Amino acid sequence: MATRTERPSFFWMYLSAPLFGVAQAIVGTPLDVVATREVLNSKNTLQIIKEMPVKDYGIGFQPNILKSITKTPIQLLAANFFSSIVPTDIHPAVRGFTFGLLASVSEALLFNAFNSIRTRFIQGQTWKDIDPSVLLKGFSATLSHRVFSSAIFFSIYEPLKTKYPSQGMAVSTCAGITQVILSAPFYVAAMEQQRKEAVSEPLRYTLVRLSKRDGFLRGLIFPALIPRLAHTIAITGLFMKLVDDKLGIIHRK
C-alpha cells in the first residue's frame, strides 16, 4: 500500500472537510432548487429560472448545509479507508470502480435523508412538517444513484489521474460530467419518490413510469441535467483537489 512521508496538518485533515461543505452548500443550494423544481414541475431550466423569484434560490439551505458539513467528512474518511483496502496492483479503472462503489454506500443514508428534507422544503414544508418516514423516501433510488455515480466517477478518474497526474481538476471535472449524465435516471427517480404527493412504489416502477410518460431522454436524462452539470463543474474539481492533492487521502502504489 502507498505510504505517506508527510501527514496533512491538523487544520487540513479535520477542519477543511466541513469548511468545504459550507462552501458547497452556498454554491449548490440555488442550483439544487432549480434542479428540484425542474423534476417536480416537469419544466426545463430556462422556464424555472424565468418563473422563480430571487428569494426562492435559498430554499433548502438548512438541510443542504447540514448534509454538506456531515457528508463531506464521511466522504473523505470513506475514500481514505476503502482505497487503503482495495489492492493497488489491479487496473486503475477497476480499482477506482471498486473503492468508489464501497465508499458511496457509507454516505447514501445520510445523503438521502437530507435530500428528501430539501425536496419537501422546496415544496413549501418546514421542519415541523417532517416526520421520520420522510427520511427514507427514495432510498433505493438514492442508493443506486450514489453507488453507480461514485463507481463511474472513480473508474474514470483513477486511470486518467495516473496518466495525467498534473491535470487533476480537469480529470475530475471530466469524470464528474460523465457520472452526472449516466446516473441521471436514478437521480430523477429519487426526487420523484421524495415529492410529498408520491405514492410508494418500487424503483423499477418509477423508472418505467417516467420513461413511458415522457420517453427515456426527456423523462430520465434531461430533467435537472443543466443545473447538475453546473454544480459538478463548479465543485468537483476543487473537491478532488482537496481530497487527492492537498490531503492525499487516496492510497496508491
Mean predicted lDDT score pLDDT of the chain: 91
Q: What is the distance between the alpha carbons of residues 168 and 11, in angstroms, rounded to a whole number?
A: 22
Distances from the Cα of 136 to the Cαs of 69, 116, 170, in angstroms? 20, 8, 35
Binning pLDDT at 50, 70 and 90, where does residue 231 land? very high
Task: Classify residue 253: in a domain, yes or no.
Answer: no
| pLDDT tens digits for range 51-63 | 999 999 999 999 9
Q: Is the dihedral of CA 115, 120, 122, 128 positive or negative?
A: negative
* Count of the separate structural domains present in the chain: 1
In a domain, 14, yes or no: yes
Domain containing 241 — which CATH number?
1.50.40.10
pLDDT score, position 76: 86
Rounded CA-CA distance 202/184 in Å is 17
Residue 111 forms part of a structural domain? yes
pTM attached to this predicted model = 0.91
Query: Domain range spanning residue 138?
Result: 10-246
Answer yes or no: is 137 within a domain.
yes
* Whole-angstrom distance, CA of residue 38 vs CA of residue 50: 12
**Hey, how many other C-beta atoms are within 10 angstroms of the C-beta on 165?**
11
> Could you identify the residue written with the cell 486503475?
92
For residue 128, what pLDDT band results from cuts at 50, 70 and 90? very high
Taking the C-alpha atoms of residue 28 and residue 115, their distance in angstroms, rounded to an integer, is: 12
- The answer, yes or no, to whether residue 8 has pLDDT greater than 60, is no
